[in-house]
Structure 1
C-alpha cells in the first residue's frame, strides 16, 4: 500500500482521482483518505511535538463533487482519534491556513480538500499549521505514517463543531480594505462608486462578491459562475487559462464594469481585467502588485518563478526594486522569499506567474482574495487622483511574441536524460553568435538573444513533476521567435528520445 500512497504525493500536496471517469483509474478512496488523516495527526504529534489531549483541527473543502464524502471520512477519523474538529464546510485554501493563527480558533492544524483547477474527477488534500503549508518532506512523513499499524485510538472520542469560517475570513478582508482606503466620504462603503464583477468558475470564490464587495458598497451585478458546482461546467477555474480570461473579459465589457476578478477553484490564485478589457495576469499582474509593494517598501526584492520576462525585470528595477528570478513551483518561490528575509535581504513579495502571490505582511500566504484586496485599496486611492490601476503598469514592456512548448522525454531515466540535454545545450549556446547564458539563473538553461539573433530570451527546464522538458520563448520582434526556434530545432533533433513533434 505504501507505494500506492506515495504516488498520491504531488510536491507539497496530495492529489488523486476520486471519481470514476473514462480517463483515469480511481486511487483516492475512503481507505486512502482515512489513512492519510491518521498520518497527519501522527505527524503533528511526532514532528510538531503536540502532546495535549485533544488536538484541534479545522477541515474545509472547495466545490468538488467528491468533497463532501472525503470530508465525512476525515471528520470521522479525526473524531475517533480524539480530535476537536471544526467543520468549515465550503471554504478556501488560504482561509484554512487562517484557522491556525486566528485567536478564536488557533487550530493545531488544518486540512483543505481541493485539487485546484484540475478536472472534476480529481481531488486532493493540503495541510497547514501556524507555520504555513506542509513541505515535501512533511508530506512524505505523513504518507509513511499513514501505513503504519501502531496508530493508537484513545479511549475518548473527539467532537465536531460546524462553523461558517468563510464568513469570519470575509470580515477580515472587509476590514482590511476599509482601513486601507480610509475613506473620509464613506468609511463603511468605500467601493460604492465602483462596479466590480467576480468570476469564481463555480469554485469556492463566489463569497467574494456577496460577503466582501457588496459589504463595501460595490455593485456586483454581472458576476458569474459564483455558485459552487464541482463539475466546473462553464470554464476551467484557472486564471492562467485563456478560456477563463476570455470569459471574465467578455463579462467586464458587456456589463461596463470597472474591474473583473477571476479566481481559481480554491482561491489561492487570482487575476483581473480592467475596465477597458485589458487582461492583467502573469507578468502584468506581477508588475502591478510589485508597483504597489515597492511604493510601500522601497528597494524590496521581488521573488518570482523562472519564466518571467525580461520586461518585468526592467520594470521592477526602474521602480528601485530588485528582481530575484527563482525556480518554478509556488512553494519554491515562497520559501525563497522567506529565506532571503532570514538572511537579511528584505523581500515583501513572492509571486509565481500562475497567480500564487504571497505577501510578507500576510504570513507569506499565497492568497488570491488578499491579493485582490490589496489591489482594490490601491484602485480606490488612484480613483481619487483621477487615475486607474493600468496607469501603474503602462511602462511595462510586453513582448509581442511569446510561446510555450512541452516535450515528452521517452527515456525511462527521464531526469538523467533531461539534465544531459541541458548540459549539452550550455555548450551549444556558446557556439551561437549573439546568444549568452543568463547569469544568476536557478533553473534549467536561460539564454538571452541579441537583436540580430532572436531579440529576446528562452528557457529550457525539466518539469517539476513530469517526464517533460518545458520551453518558454519570448521575442520583442515578430521574426525573432522563428530565429530562436530554428536554432533550437537544429540542436533538439539530435535527441531521439525527446518528442519534439509539437515544435513547429
Structure 2
C-alpha cells in the first residue's frame, strides 16, 4: 500500500468504487479505518484527550460504507464519534467550535466535484483545516500500522448538525439585513432558486432561504444522489452553469445559486441568466468586502484577469494581491498578510473557494452566498440590484484555458525547465513583458494592439500538467498570442501540445 498516493495537498483522496477503466480502488473501508486510527493517534500526539470527532459525508455512493469504517477505526482508539450524516464541509469545521457539540475534530467524507467513483477525507480542528504537513504526518502514522487500541471503545451518537448550521446562516442573514419591516423574512418578495447538483447543498433552499421568506420554487437537483444524474456539482463546470442559468430564466428568478458537492464552493446567476462566477464572483464579493473594509487587500489565485485588478484597485480603491492556485495557498497568504499588519478580509479562488476573515478564514460556499444575500436584501430595499455593484468590471473579449500534459516521469523538474527556457524566449518577443510580482509560473502581458492580453503558464499543483490561461481584449487576440506560444514551446518533446491545435 502506497499511502502517500492518497495525499492530495491538504486532503486525502482516492478511488473508492469500481466503474472507470484504469482506476483501481485504493480507498477501501479497511484503508479508511486505518486512517481513522492514525488521525486519532495524531490528535493524541497533538495533546488532545477525551476525543470526540464529528463526521459528515456528501452524497457519494461510497460515503456510508466509508463513514462506518471511519467510525469503527476511531472508536477502537477510544474516540467518540458524532455521526452528522449528510452535511457540508464547512459545517464539519463549525462542529469544532459549536458550543453544544464541542467536537475535538471534524471530518468530511468528500471528493468535491470529482467523478462518482472517487471519495476522500477533509480534516478540521478548531484551528481550521489541516495543512499539507499534517496530512503527511497522518499518512506516515497509517503506514506503520502500529496502534495501541483503547481498552474501552468510544461511543457513536447521531446528530443532524446541518440543522444547527442552517440556523447559524439564517440568523446571520437576518442580523445583517436589518429589515425593519420584516426582520424574520428579509428575502420576502424575492424568488431565489438553488441548484445543488444532487450533492449536499440541497438544505440551503428549505432550511435557509425559505425561512427567510424567499420563494424557492424552481430549485433543482436538491435530493442527494451520488450518481450525479443531472450534471457535475461544480460551479466551474460549463454544463452545470448552463443548467442553473436556464433554470433562472425559465422560472423568472431574481437570483440563482449553485453549490459544489460538499458546499465549500459556490456561484450565483443574475435575473437575466448571466453567470456570476470566476472573476465576476470575486469582483462582486470584493465590492461588498471593500465597502466594509476600505483599502484592504483582496487575495486571489494566479489566473485572475487584468480587468479584475483594475476593478479592485481603480474602482473599489482596494489592493489586489494575486497569489497562487490552491485554496489553502490563498487562505494562508491572506492570514500571513494580516500577521504582518496588512489588512486582508477575503481570500478567494476563481474556482469559487472563498474564505472570509470574519468567518474563521473558512472556505464556505454557503457563507459566501449568505454574505451576498445580506447585501442583496439591503440593496433591494433601496430598489437597487445586486449586479449593479459590478457594472464597471471589464470582462475579457476572449478567454481560453489549455492543459498541456508532461510526458516525462520527473514531470516537476521538466516543467520547471520549460518555464525557465520559455522565460528567456519571451524576453525576445516585441511587445511582450514579464509581469512582476508574480508568485506562480510565468505570467506575460502583451501590449501589442492586435493582441492586448496576457497568458499564464504554470505547473499543476499535483498532476503532470501545465495549465495555460490566455485572455485578450481583441477579437482574434488569443489566436495571435497562441501562435507565438506554440512556436516557443514546440521544441519540448516531453510536452504534449496537441491541445493547442487549431
1:32 positional shift? 0.8
SS for the counterpart of 1:502 is: helix
CA–CA distance in 1 between the matches of 2:382 and 2:212? 20
CA–CA distance in 2 between the matches of 1:249 and 1:329? 27
Work out which of the residue numbers 422, 425, 430 in structure 1 matches 2:422.
Answer: 425
The answer on whether the counterparts of 1:434 and 1:453 sit within 8 Å (CA) in structure 2 is: no
The answer on whether the counterparts of 2:92 and 2:108 sit within 8 Å (CA) in structure 1 is: yes
The answer on whether the counterparts of 2:457 and 2:468 sit within 8 Å (CA) in structure 1 is: yes
The answer on whether the counterparts of 1:444 and 1:460 sit within 8 Å (CA) in structure 2 is: yes
SS for the counterpart of 1:198 is: strand
1:13 corresponding residue in structure 2: 11
CA–CA distance in 2 between the matches of 1:411 and 1:60? 39
The answer on whether the counterparts of 2:278 and 2:352 sit within 8 Å (CA) in structure 1 is: yes
Measured against aligned partners, the alpha-carbon deviations of 1:24-51 in whole angstroms (never above 9, x if no partner) come to 11111112101111111111111x211x
1:453 positional shift? 5.4
2:372 corresponding residue in structure 1: 375
Work out which of the residue numbers 346, 351, 361 in structure 1 matches 2:348.
Answer: 351
Alignment of 1:234-273 (within 5 A): 234-273=230-269
Measured against aligned partners, the alpha-carbon deviations of 1:49-88 in whole angstroms (never above 9, x if no partner) come to 11x2x21111000000000000111112222211121110
1:395 corresponding residue in structure 2: 392
Alignment of 1:35-114 (within 5 A): 35-46=34-45, 48-50=46-48, 52=49, 54-114=50-110
**Regions of 4+ moved over 3 Å:** none
The answer on whether the counterparts of 1:5 and 1:32 sit within 8 Å (CA) in structure 2 is: no
1:364 corresponding residue in structure 2: 361
Mind listing any 5+ residue stretches in structure 1 that lack a counterpart? none
2:204 corresponding residue in structure 1: 208
Aligned length: 499
CA–CA distance in 1 between the matches of 2:205 and 2:287? 26
SS for the counterpart of 1:191 is: coil
Residue 31 (structure 2) pairs with residue 32 (structure 1) = yes
Alignment of 1:180-191 (within 5 A): 180-191=176-187
1:452 positional shift? 2.5
Work out which of the residue numbers 470, 474, 478 in structure 2 matches 1:477.
Answer: 474
Measured against aligned partners, the alpha-carbon deviations of 1:205-257 in whole angstroms (never above 9, x if no partner) come to 00000100000010001000000000000000000001011000010000000
The answer on whether the counterparts of 1:15 and 1:122 sit within 8 Å (CA) in structure 2 is: yes
TM-score, with length taken from structure 1: 0.98
CA–CA distance in 1 between the matches of 2:211 and 2:301? 35
The answer on whether the counterparts of 1:198 and 1:220 sit within 8 Å (CA) in structure 2 is: yes
SS for the counterpart of 1:354 is: coil
The answer on whether the counterparts of 2:355 and 2:363 sit within 8 Å (CA) in structure 1 is: yes
TM-score, with length taken from structure 2: 0.98
1:265 positional shift? 0.4
| Distance change in 2, residues 1:405/1:175 (3 Å) | same
1:487 positional shift? 0.9
2:446 corresponding residue in structure 1: 449
1:451 positional shift? 3.5
1:108 positional shift? 1.1
Measured against aligned partners, the alpha-carbon deviations of 1:147-187 in whole angstroms (never above 9, x if no partner) come to 22431111112111100100000000000000000111100
1:176 corresponding residue in structure 2: 172
CA–CA distance in 1 between the matches of 2:449 and 2:271? 38
Residue 408 (structure 2) pairs with residue 411 (structure 1) = yes
SS for the counterpart of 2:273 is: coil
SS for the counterpart of 2:236 is: coil
CA–CA distance in 2 between the matches of 1:496 and 1:144? 36
The answer on whether the counterparts of 1:453 and 1:484 sit within 8 Å (CA) in structure 2 is: no
Work out which of the residue numbers 116, 123, 135 in structure 1 matches 2:131.
Answer: 135
CA–CA distance in 2 between the matches of 1:451 and 1:150? 63
Residue 318 (structure 2) pairs with residue 321 (structure 1) = yes
Mind listing any 5+ residue stretches in structure 2 that lack a counterpart? none
CA–CA distance in 1 between the matches of 2:266 and 2:20? 30
SS for the counterpart of 1:185 is: coil
1:483 positional shift? 1.6
